[in-house]
A = this chain, B = another copy of it.
Amino acid sequence: MTFSHAIVTSPRPPGDGPSVGTYGRVTAWLSKRVEFALAQMDLTLPQYRVLGILAEGSAAASGLAGRLAVRPSSVTAIIDGLLARGLVDRKHEEGDRRRIALRLTDEGARIVAEADRAVDDYLASIAAHLPDEDGVMVLRSLELWGQALANFHQARKPQ
């Protein structure tokens, strides 16, 4: 695929909304809107990422650092906060007591569903500021980004 820095255009007047110049800048501002939506549930972006993983099934802590692209000590810090709020449950695995098994509590499952809903609705409300077909398209494009990310990580996984 060829690539050009296509959307670096003329400067806009200062004080006029977010800075949207390149693909990276757009993504940077989009993620800020996600953080804003998550604040309704008093969740941070890292917490939401972890809850999203656990919503797909319980996971070992050992795998989380790699999936989150952070160090193990950062996983501990995030999990500590979620434990304190009763959103996740932590116990030693039987068979290998070095390993930690993590799973959502019922409250955690409720919160992540609420967060998914709130963030998706908020993103949809932003997309609604485009012409109808474009609004539908940009939301659908996020599904493709999800697929791209999955393929990307799959390609990087050691066999």
Q: For the complex, would chain A's binding face be called helix, strand, loop or mixed by DSSP majority?
A: helix
B-facing mask of A109-127, CB < 8 A → 1, else 0?
A: 0000001111111111111
Residue A157 interfacial (CB < 8 Å): yes
Q: Which of B56, B67, B116 contacts A24 (CB 8 A)?
A: B116
Residue A158 interfacial (CB < 8 Å): no
Residue A26 interfacial (CB < 8 Å): yes
Pick the most buried of A36, A128, A144: most chain B CB atoms within 10 A of its CB.
A144
Q: Are B143 and A141 in contact (CB under 8 A)?
A: no
How many copies the complex holds: the figure is: 2
Residue A72 interfacial (CB < 8 Å): no
Interface residues of A in 21-69 (CB under 8 A from B): 21-34, 36-38, 45, 48-49, 52-53, 55-60, 63, 66-69
Residue A18 interfacial (CB < 8 Å): yes
Interface range on chain A (Cβ under 8 Å from partner): 35 or more
Return A159 CB to nearest CB of chain B, in Å.
Answer: 13
Chain B residues whose CB sits within 8 angstroms of the CB of A116 once the complex forms: 5, 8, 21-22, 24-25
- 3 A-B pairs with least C-beta separation: A24-B119, A31-B31, A17-B153
